[in-house]
Amino acid sequence: MIDKLEFFLALARERHFGRAAEECGVTQPTLSAAIRQLEDQLGVMLVNRGSRFQGLTPEGQRVLEWARRIVGDTRTMREEMRAARKGLSGHIRLAAIPTTLAMVPMITAPFQEKHPDVTFSVLSTTSLQILALLENLEIDAGLTYLENEPLGRVTSVPLQMEQYHLVTAAGAPLADRESVTWKEVSNIRLCLLTADMQNRRIINQHFAEAGAVASPTLESNSMIVLFSHVRTGRWASIMPYNVAKSFGFHEDIRMIPIVEPDVRHTVGLVATYREPFTPLVSALLHEARILAERNAA
């Protein structure tokens, strides 16, 4: 039953029998047969079939919720028993919004020092995608905003506050100022994150509050790309102070607080709420709380 539910979760994620089979490491006929056996066991149709996958039935949507819960609990049990036998080991899958990527080593480095048998993978993505990945059991935790948009049923650890700065080259417009307003920033050449990023939605909101509109001439989902264009002197950007500082700017780059309004937003670690947490997620949340205490000191 657990294997069949794993196959069903993969099919719900991929929405394609072939890709789901490839993800699970089985042939397409094997996966299709397992889904039909699951339907026979439960006595309901789970998948709308035609020449290709056509979505889940209403009963399939309900089974999907149970499958996530059952498979999540099963993985937790297996991980807890492995930790009891061999100590903490395994793999942690993290996803982070671009403005939190510089914070990731502050958690992973001390974590791996304490638990050297644990490995990590880190994905850069949007805040909405992080929530979808958590729901589908595709990641263990995410680094994202804790305010502004609904998070759903998650456990969160606030880590730090974002304070927005104009990041521009020395000698560029507004570079000699001690502070600038959102209205003033709207009138210079900007490079910003793409519109699917929550950071960009927040920036757009603050421009609107100041009676202005953001009209960047370059957009990217990478902070490195934005920084590289700022270095040319032809663009400026808006970045949280901690992110801008992490690039190790030299004297040729200025970081100027943006006011009117002077705003701050909380970012932190989120994980799907579950009791008990897997040993890996529990240890990760503990490490995040240590970082939060250090940042607050």
CATH number at residue 206: 3.40.190.290
Pick the range with the lowest mean pLDDT from 63-67, 77-81, 286-290: 77-81
* 22 in the same domain as 9: yes
In degrees and rounded to multiples of 5, residue 190 shows phi and psi of -120, 150
Local confidence band at 182 (pLDDT 50, 70, 90 cut-offs): very high
List the domain range (segments joined by +) for residue 272.
87-160+266-296
For residue 177, with 0-12 CB atoms within 10 Å meaning exposed, 13-18 middle and 19 or more buried, which class applies? middle
* 67 in the same domain as 8: yes
Model confidence pLDDT, tens digit, residues 196-225: 999 999 999 999 999 999 899 999 999 999
* 178 in the same domain as 142: no
* 114 in the same domain as 186: no
* 259 in the same domain as 282: no
Q: How many folded domains does the chain comprise?
A: 3
Q: Give mean pLDDT, residues 178-206.
A: 94
* 291 in the same domain as 145: yes
Model pLDDT, residue 51: 66
Up-side HSE of residue 135: CA atoms within 13 Å toward CB? 13
* 111 in the same domain as 237: no
Local confidence band at 249 (pLDDT 50, 70, 90 cut-offs): low
Q: Give mean pLDDT, residues 175-181.
A: 94
* 236 in the same domain as 214: yes
Cα–Cα nearest to 105, from 228, 266, 287: 287
Model confidence pLDDT, tens digit, residues 112-133: 999 999 999 999 999 999 999 9
* 270 in the same domain as 155: yes
| CATH at 125 | 3.40.190.10
Model pLDDT, residue 262: 85
Bridge partner residues of 240 (DSSP):
164
* 279 in the same domain as 237: no
* Token duo for residue 123: 């994905």
Question: With the C-alpha atoms ordered 180, 184, 189, 191, is the resulting torsion angle positive or negative?
Answer: positive
* 56 in the same domain as 17: yes
- In the listed set 31, 55, 81, which residue is the last one of a domain according to the structure? 81
| CATH at 50 | 1.10.10.10
* 258 in the same domain as 205: yes
Q: Which residues contact 168 (CB under 8 A, 6 or more apart)?
A: 174, 175, 188, 230, 236, 237, 253, 254, 256
